[in-house]
Structure 1
Amino acid sequence: MTLQTLIIRYTVFAVIATFMNLFFQRIILIIDNSFPYFVVAVAVGTLVGLVVKYYLDKRWIFFDHKKGIHHYSRQFSLYASMGIFTTAIFWGFETLFWLIWQSHFMREMGAIIGLAIGYGVKYHLDKRYVFSNDS
């Protein structure tokens, strides 16, 4: 795969995962936008985005076709672990923008900025530790 194709695919998949993340957050925040619901919305959105992005990366970025519950559980655990630091970046930006502006639009802008930075870092971690030939 060419570098240009990789960048386009990875960006499109990051946009899809970001959209799914924010979509599920909005659904929850429609019910109530108090702080407890905000925490639940961020957690649910993050989980949905993580699962979507894992599947897309596994299949279309790293071309990993290994199967089996042992392989999936080990690999997904590594994938999620690599996302802890990058999720902190995302949550930090999203929460900071929410606290400063108290606006869902700005919260989502913070989320988008945080996710963009986080996904850039995550690609390199995943390539080295999750989808390496050893895994």
Structure 2
Amino acid sequence: MKLAITYAILALIATAANIGAQDLVIRVYSGMFDVLLSVAIGTGVGLVVKYVLDKRYIFKFRARSAVHDGQVFALYVLMGIATTLIFWGFEFGFHYLFGTKEMRYLGGVIGLAIGYVTKYHLDKRFVFRNQGGV
């Protein structure tokens, strides 16, 4: 139960980083492809924040070297492709259906929540399984 609570808290932190980065981009740039750019940057920020938090607090991972850390991060990103599609599907779907940034962000939060639950299982099974973590 402690692991689930910790994971939920860390997912909230990564979600806030993602949505916060998106909102910052929209506030700074309102030109062509602004929503797409904001979602891409938010996704990147959220991904890095989530990786750093997951590897340390969830999977207790310690890389043997920078190269090893890069390899594990690449696998982490690969496992995140499907979950990113879930997240984007909800965020862009809400954007299309409702047309407001608030509803787009709500769709993003819902998509991230679903994606993070799925991602935990993928990461546990494929990314951190033989890396000295859980």
TM-score (norm 1): 0.93
For the structure 1 residues 83 and 107, does the alpha-carbon distance in structure 2 shift closer, same or farther, using more than 3 Å as the test?
same
Relative to 1, partners in 2 of residues 1:102 and 1:30: Cα closer, same or farther, differing over 3 Å?
Answer: same
In the TM superposition, residue 30 of structure 1 has moved relative to its aligned partner by 1.0
SS of the equivalent of 1:39 reads helix
Change (3 A) 1:34 1:97: farther
Alignment of 1:81 onto 2:81: no
Residue 108 of structure 1 is matched in structure 2 by: 105
Q: How far apart are 1:77 and its partner, in Å?
A: 0.1
Q: Distance in 1 between matches of 2:29 and 2:100?
A: 14
Residue of structure 2 aligned with 1:59, choices 33, 56, 61: 56
Percentage identity across paired residues of the two chains:
47
Distance in 1, matches of 2:32 and 2:117, equals 29
CA distance in 2, matches of 1:16, 1:77: 21
CA RMSD of aligned residues (A): 1.3
Please identify runs of 4+ aligned residues in structure 1 that moved more than 2 A: 31-35
Choose which of 6, 10, 15 in structure 2 pairs with 1:9: 6
Distance 1:61 1:106 in 2: 30
Unaligned stretches of 5+ residues in structure 1: none
Q: Is the 8 A contact 2:91 2:108 kept in 1?
A: yes
Contact 2:92 2:107 survives alignment (8 Å): yes
Query: Which residue in 2 is equivalent to 1:132?
Result: 129
Which of 1 and 2 has higher RCO (CA within 8 Å, sep 6+)? 2
> How many angstroms does 1:70 deviate by?
1.4
Q: Structure 2: 5+ residue runs without aligned partners?
A: none
**Which residue matches 1:38?**
35
Match of 2:68 among 56, 68, 71: 71
Aligned residues: 132
Structure 2 residue identity aligned to 1:99: Y
TM-score, normalised with respect to structure 2? 0.94
